[in-house]
């Protein structure tokens, strides 16, 4: 559909105006989006920043990762760079963006690279995109870079074909209001850049070409980036249109709407819309228009509507139930609000008499929907018979309504007879408008029309000559009756519409007020039981159902609060609740899982997982939730889930405070012990050496020296553990030959190793690794001491080094009893001890120290039982730590 001329306007949406006002109060965000590393996002960002700086704009570089690329570094020379803040983390000196410095500097534009970056512990925010949010809130414009695989909603899709799970992601909401600039590069050119070493160093580039950077992967990522950019542009266009009030579809991108009715076969419409959305890669919405006629649907019709909406939600649609006076008006409003370009609608087998009376929804939409593609899917032939069964009686409503309308006409007739001598016959017809309006207001359109016909007949029978007959003698009296009937019909129609709109408006206002009150109650709740009580009370009151909230207690899913309090959960219900708990999907009555349950269970699910389960059940044993209440239930479930998430996070913060206090006390205790032991240990060592000088042949001297040496290692472990906990380890990364390091460790332990055969298999040709030699020496010292301690009095010890495609490994193996099954991970915990530690005098610190230093060096450490016996501890140096040939110069 072509865009309408500027004169065609509609009322701007308040939500859109509010979004626009908030956006104008913040800084402007521009995201340079790419398909993969190396396409030139940082280069493009710095190029634009430098151009703006040359034009006089106040531009600073908050953080930029050049990765050693000369052309990128050259762009930064003319820009002001805010120095980064260094943070100590596990012995590393890591540089992060100095958020406070940028806020103090307050430039007009800040260039922030790597939008999805995770900040080091100790930073104000865990993620860099949160830092950017704070800059935007301060009114600072931000340019940033992002790869498509870091978008949260695409994480699983990317992992499915790249076999790489990206841990650093940004929420999709960051694209709201952001300007997207696509930095695109064809896969062949990117692969050439990779081969030329412009993306990674050569030895890493060859590995990347065989994994992530294959041409099929790059093509798929490129398509995702193009589609995501187009989707963001389309959404931004819609927000601008809503804010300006321009009418029209603006079909630059497809938007699909599927209409859900009570007719059989609606699930076919949903699946058709899903296939259409997948083919067009377009967003889609499933909507049910709730009219006054919906109140007369039987249980089977309501079940079909609920099932179709649930199916659409499962397939990824946005679902909505929209109240309206009729289906055509409701669909028009949704088409206009969503600016839909495609409509999927079913055509039921209606009789010609029905379409003559009510009109054809499909024909009306096709006739009036200019620029709208309408996909009409015929409904099954059974729809006609299903509709006809009892349809007429249900359509005209209850007979009592017509009786009341007839009584009102009779009362008006009596009053008119009494008043006729004073007002005359000519004014009597106006009196009959009163019961017609009253009947239409109270009972709707059809009782109002019935009252209008009855009023015309009564006026004719009692007041027009000849009296007490339905004969009309005078021509003007015929006109009077026709006018009365017409005016009464129009009046009743308008009164019926107003009644319908008022009822819909009152219900919407009540629901919104109830949701607001519910949110306030949850905000005041300070524990799970209070939150569960508020949830059950509101769900039962608003939906008219029984309710129960289940949570985990002592490892089992158990009811916390129920309404009524004596509500019971059967074994079948318990199974449905546990399935909802474990799978995160609804289960029970009215769903597709464990339908034999009397309850319908909904998981209270957040980003932290499923925190509780809400169950609802109807008193009559039917479907507990009507289709028109599904949206209200969804809102209640969402608010209850957020309340449980808040409580969970508060509990974690309290637990974290306790752990921090415990760690602080432990560090103080260990530091005190280490300090207090050092002086007496030095005195004992001096005393032993003095005895050795005077009595060199004393038999106990070797034992004393060995025990002192073991005590000194224990003291060193205590001191190093304190340093690890305090973050006091400093790294000095240099290329190291593993052969030399292992030889030095063996030399330092020559006395404890006496009697042990060392099977030394570390080839001299192993690549150098970039590590801190002092820390690696300490790691191997503890691993060898552990092998001596648990490998037997004279058992051989293997030290084996190997080169694998992805790493360099170093294994220390003893010939002892091995590890207890299941302790391969816990053996590295502080004070954890292996079998026989009581005999060998183990302290449980050595392996904890080894793992702490390995983590600081980014080395993987693992323990396992060797197939030929004994325990094997393996250090894995990943490819990023393997020194290249240029590192030796």
Q: In angstroms, rounded to a whole number, what is the distance separating the alpha carbons of residues 448 and 495?
A: 8
DSSP states of 649-685: HHHHHHHHHHHHHHHHHHHHHHHHHHHHHHHHHHHHH
Q: Are 286 and 308 in contact (CB under 8 A)?
A: yes
- 31 has a pLDDT exceeding 50: yes
Query: Looking at residue 333, what is its pLDDT?
Result: 80
Say which CATH architecture domain 729-888 belongs to: 2-Layer Sandwich (3.30)
Those residues with Cβ within 8 angstroms of residue 871's Cβ, 6 or more apart along the chain or in another chain: 787, 790, 813, 814, 816, 818, 819, 834, 863, 864, 865
Phi first, then psi: what are they for 767, rounded to 5°? -65, 155
Those residues with Cβ within 8 angstroms of residue 824's Cβ, 6 or more apart along the chain or in another chain: 862, 863, 864, 865
**Between these two residues, 506 and 84, which has the higher pLDDT value?**
84
* Percent over 70 (pLDDT), the chain: 74
- 838 has a pLDDT exceeding 50: no
Query: Looking at residue 61, what is its pLDDT?
Result: 92
Query: Looking at residue 386, what is its pLDDT?
Result: 40
Query: Looking at residue 887, what is its pLDDT?
Result: 44
Mapped onto helix, strand or coil, the DSSP state of residue 605 is strand
Per-residue pLDDT tens digits for 305-325: 877 877 777 677 777 777 777
- 118 has a pLDDT exceeding 70: yes
Structure tokens at 575: 């199974």
Query: Looking at residue 423, what is its pLDDT?
Result: 80
**Which range among 261-265, 381-385, 817-821 shows the weakest confidence by mean pLDDT?**
381-385
Q: In angstroms, rounded to a whole number, what is the distance separating the alpha carbons of residues 797 and 213?
A: 42
Class for domain 543-560+570-621+628-698, per CATH?
alpha beta
Class for domain 14-244, per CATH?
alpha beta
Query: Looking at residue 76, what is its pLDDT?
Result: 82
* 256-395 topology per CATH: Rossmann fold (3.40.50)
Q: Which residue intervals of the chain bear CATH 3.40.50.300?
A: 14-244
- 717 has a pLDDT exceeding 80: no
Q: In angstroms, rounded to a whole number, what is the distance separating the alpha carbons of residues 500 and 508?
A: 12
Q: In angstroms, rounded to a whole number, what is the distance separating the alpha carbons of residues 625 and 598?
A: 12
Query: Looking at residue 16, what is its pLDDT?
Result: 52
Q: In angstroms, rounded to a whole number, what is the distance separating the alpha carbons of residues 382 and 394?
A: 19
Query: Looking at residue 770, what is its pLDDT?
Result: 86
351 — pLDDT class (breaks 50, 70, 90): low
Q: Which residue intervals of the chain bear CATH 3.30.565.10?
A: 729-888
Per-residue pLDDT tens digits for 409-449: 889 888 888 888 888 776 777 788 788 778 776 776 678 77
- What's the whole-number mean pLDDT along residues 85-90? 74
Query: Looking at residue 109, what is its pLDDT?
Result: 92
Closest CA to 626 of 254, 303, 282: 303
Q: Residue 741 CB: number of other CB atoms within 10 A?
A: 20
Per-residue pLDDT tens digits for 735-774: 888 888 888 888 888 777 777 888 888 888 888 888 888 8
Mapped onto helix, strand or coil, the DSSP state of residue 864 is strand
Q: In angstroms, rounded to a whole number, what is the distance separating the alpha carbons of residues 332 and 324?
A: 10
Q: In angstroms, rounded to a whole number, what is the distance separating the alpha carbons of residues 610 and 195?
A: 46
- 192 has a pLDDT exceeding 80: no
385 — pLDDT class (breaks 50, 70, 90): very low
Residue 701, Cβ density class (10 Å: 0-12 exposed, 13-18 middle, ≥19 buried): middle
111 — pLDDT class (breaks 50, 70, 90): very high
- 277 has a pLDDT exceeding 60: yes
**The pairing of beta strand 600-606 with beta strand 318-323:** unpaired
356 — pLDDT class (breaks 50, 70, 90): low
- 885 has a pLDDT exceeding 50: no
Query: Looking at residue 168, what is its pLDDT?
Result: 82
Query: Looking at residue 295, what is its pLDDT?
Result: 66
**Which range among 576-585, 613-622, 686-695 shows the weakest confidence by mean pLDDT?**
686-695
CA distances from 616 to 354, 517, 588, 677 (A): 38, 20, 10, 64
CA distances from 687 to 69, 693, 704, 855 (A): 61, 10, 10, 39
Query: Looking at residue 60, what is its pLDDT?
Result: 92
Query: Looking at residue 349, what is its pLDDT?
Result: 62
Query: Looking at residue 107, what is its pLDDT?
Result: 92
**The pairing of beta strand 600-606 with beta strand 609-617:** antiparallel
Closest CA to 614 of 624, 627, 629: 624
Range among 164-178, 614-628, 808-822 with highest mean pLDDT value: 808-822
Closest CA to 864 of 818, 828, 814: 818
Angle at 821 between CA 819 and CA 823, to 5 degrees: 70
- 599 has a pLDDT exceeding 80: yes
**Which range among 44-48, 789-793, 836-840 shows the weakest confidence by mean pLDDT?**
836-840
- 505 has a pLDDT exceeding 60: yes
Query: Looking at residue 889, what is its pLDDT?
Result: 36
Q: In angstroms, rounded to a whole number, what is the distance separating the alpha carbons of residues 182 and 45?
A: 11
Q: In angstroms, rounded to a whole number, what is the distance separating the alpha carbons of residues 439 and 405?
A: 6
- What's the whole-number mean pLDDT along residues 68-86? 82
**Between these two residues, 855 and 60, which has the higher pLDDT value?**
60
Per-residue pLDDT tens digits for 567-594: 888 888 888 888 888 888 888 887 777 7
Per-residue pLDDT tens digits for 518-555: 777 777 777 888 888 888 888 888 888 889 999 888 77
Residue 865 belongs to what H/E stretch? strand 860-865
Q: Which residue intervals of the chain bear CATH 3.40.50.620?
A: 256-395
- What's the whole-number mean pLDDT along residues 506-512? 70
32 — pLDDT class (breaks 50, 70, 90): very high
Bridge partners of residue 145, in order along the sequence:
32
Query: Looking at residue 122, what is its pLDDT?
Result: 73
Strand order, beta sheet including 600-606: 556-563, 546-553, 609-617, 600-606, 587-588
Average pLDDT, the chain: 76
**The pairing of beta strand 546-553 with beta strand 556-563:** antiparallel
Q: Which residue intervals of the chain bear CATH 3.30.450?
A: 543-560+570-621+628-698
Q: Are 370 and 250 in contact (CB under 8 A)?
A: no
162 — pLDDT class (breaks 50, 70, 90): low
Q: In angstroms, rounded to a whole number, what is the distance separating the alpha carbons of residues 301 and 307?
A: 10
Max Cα separation, the chain?
151
- What's the whole-number mean pLDDT along residues 375-404? 61
Q: In angstroms, rounded to a whole number, what is the distance separating the alpha carbons of residues 210 and 199?
A: 15
Query: Looking at residue 451, what is its pLDDT?
Result: 80
Q: Are 599 and 616 in contact (CB under 8 A)?
A: yes
- 389 has a pLDDT exceeding 50: no
- 789 has a pLDDT exceeding 70: yes
């Amino acid at each position: 559909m072509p865009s309408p001329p500027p004169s065609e306007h509609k009322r701007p949406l308040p939500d859109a105006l509010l979004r626009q006002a908030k956006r104008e109060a913040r800084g402007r965000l521009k995201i340079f989006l790419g398909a993969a590393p190396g396409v030139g996002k940082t280069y493009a960002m710095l190029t634009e920043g430098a151009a703006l700086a040359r034009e006089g704009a106040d531009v600073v570089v908050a953080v930029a990762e050049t990765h050693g690329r000369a052309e990128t570094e050259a762009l930064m020379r003319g820009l002001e760079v805010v120095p980064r803040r260094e943070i100590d983390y596990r012995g590393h000196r890591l540089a992060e963006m100095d958020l406070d410095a940028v806020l103090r500097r307050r430039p007009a534009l800040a260039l922030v690279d790597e939008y999805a970056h995770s900040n080091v512990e100790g930073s104000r925010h865990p993620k860099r995109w949160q830092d950017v949010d704070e800059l935007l809130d301060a009114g600072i414009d931000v340019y940033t870079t992002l790869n498509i695989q870091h978008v949260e909603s695409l994480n699983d899709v990317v992992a499915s074909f790249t076999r790489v799970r990206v841990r650093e992601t940004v929420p999709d909401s960051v694209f709201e209001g952001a300007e997207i600039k696509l930095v695109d590069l064809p896969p062949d050119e990117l692969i050439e850049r990779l081969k030329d070493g412009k993306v990674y160093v050569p030895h890493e580039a060859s590995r990347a070409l065989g994994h992530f950077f294959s041409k099929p992967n790059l093509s798929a990522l490129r398509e995702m980036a193009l589609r995501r950019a187009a989707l963001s542009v389309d959404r931004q266009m819609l927000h601008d249109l809503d804010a300006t009030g321009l009418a029209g579809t603006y079909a630059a991108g497809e938007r699909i709407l599927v209409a859900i009715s009570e007719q059989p076969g609606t699930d076919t419409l949903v699946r058709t819309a899903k296939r259409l959305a997948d083919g067009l890669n377009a967003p889609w919405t499933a909507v049910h228009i709730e009219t006054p006629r919906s109140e007369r649907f039987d249980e089977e019709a309501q079940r079909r509507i609920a099932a179709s909406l649930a199916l659409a939600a499962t397939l990824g649609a946005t679902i909505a139930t929209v109240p309206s006076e009729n289906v055509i008006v409701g669909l028009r409003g949704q088409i206009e609000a969503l600016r839909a370009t495609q409509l999927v609608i079913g055509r039921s087998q209606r009789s010609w008499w029905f379409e003559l009376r009510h009109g054809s929804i499909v024909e009306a939409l096709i006739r009036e929907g200019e620029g709208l593609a309408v996909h009409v899917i015929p409904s099954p032939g059974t729809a006609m018979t299903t509709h006809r069964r009892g349809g007429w009686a249900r359509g005209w409503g209850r007979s009592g309504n017509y009786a009341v309308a007839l009584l009102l006409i009779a009362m008006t007739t009596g009053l008119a007879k009494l008043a006729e001598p004073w007002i005359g016959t000519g004014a009597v017809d106006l009196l009959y408008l009163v019961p017609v309006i009253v009947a239409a207001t109270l009972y709707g359109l059809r009782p109002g029309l019935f009252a209008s016909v009855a009023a015309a007949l009564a006026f004719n029978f009692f007041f027009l000559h000849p009296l007490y007959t339905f004969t009309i003698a005078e021509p003007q009296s015929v006109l009077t009756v026709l006018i009365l009937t017409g005016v009464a019909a129009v009046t009743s129609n308008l009164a019926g519409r107003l009644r319908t709109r008022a009822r819909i408006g009152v219900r919407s206002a009540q629901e919104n007020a109830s949701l607001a009150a519910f949110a306030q109650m949850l905000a005041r709740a300070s524990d799970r039981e209070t939150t569960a009580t508020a949830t059950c009370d509101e769900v039962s009151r608003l939906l008219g159902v029984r309710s129960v909230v289940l949570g985990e207690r002592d490892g089992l899913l158990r009811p916390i609060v129920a309404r009524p309090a004596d509500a019971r959960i059967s074994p079948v219900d318990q199974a449905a609740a546990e399935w909802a708990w474990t799978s995160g999907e609804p289960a029970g009555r009215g769903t597709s899982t464990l339908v034999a349950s009397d309850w319908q269970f909904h998981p209270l699910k957040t980003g932290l997982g499923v925190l509780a389960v809400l169950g609802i059940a109807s008193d009559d044993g039917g479907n507990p939730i009507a289709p028109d209440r599904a949206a209200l239930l969804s809102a209640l479930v969402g608010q209850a889930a957020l309340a449980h998430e808040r409580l969970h996070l508060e509990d974690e913060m309290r637990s974290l405070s306790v752990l921090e206090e415990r760690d602080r006390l432990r560090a103080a205790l260990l530091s005190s012990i280490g300090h207090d032991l050092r002086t007496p240990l030095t005195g004992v060592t001096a005393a032993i050496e003095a005895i050795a000088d005077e009595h060199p042949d004393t038999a106990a001297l070797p034992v004393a020296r060995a025990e002192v040496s073991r005590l000194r290692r224990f003291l060193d472990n205590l001191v190093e553990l304190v340093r690890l906990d305090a973050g006091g380890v400093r790294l000095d990364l240099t290329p190291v030959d593993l052969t030399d390091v292992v030889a030095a460790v063996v030399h330092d332990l020559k006395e404890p190793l006496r009697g042990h055969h060392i099977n030394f298999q570390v080839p001299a040709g192993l690549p150098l690794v970039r590590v801190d030699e002092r820390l690696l020496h300490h790691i191997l010292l503890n691993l060898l001491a552990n092998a001596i301690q648990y490998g037997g009095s004279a058992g051989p010890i293997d030290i084996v080094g190997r080169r694998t495609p992805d790493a360099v490994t170093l294994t220390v193996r003893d010939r002892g009893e091995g590890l207890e099954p299941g302790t391969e991970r816990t053996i590295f915990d502080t004070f954890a001890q292996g079998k026989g530690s009581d005999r060998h005098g183990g302290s449980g610190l050595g392996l904890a120290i080894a793992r702490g230093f390995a983590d600081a060096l980014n080395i993987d450490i693992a323990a396992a039982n060797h197939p030929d016996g004994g325990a094997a501890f393996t250090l894995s140096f990943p490819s990023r730590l393997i020194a290249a040939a240029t590192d030796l110069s």
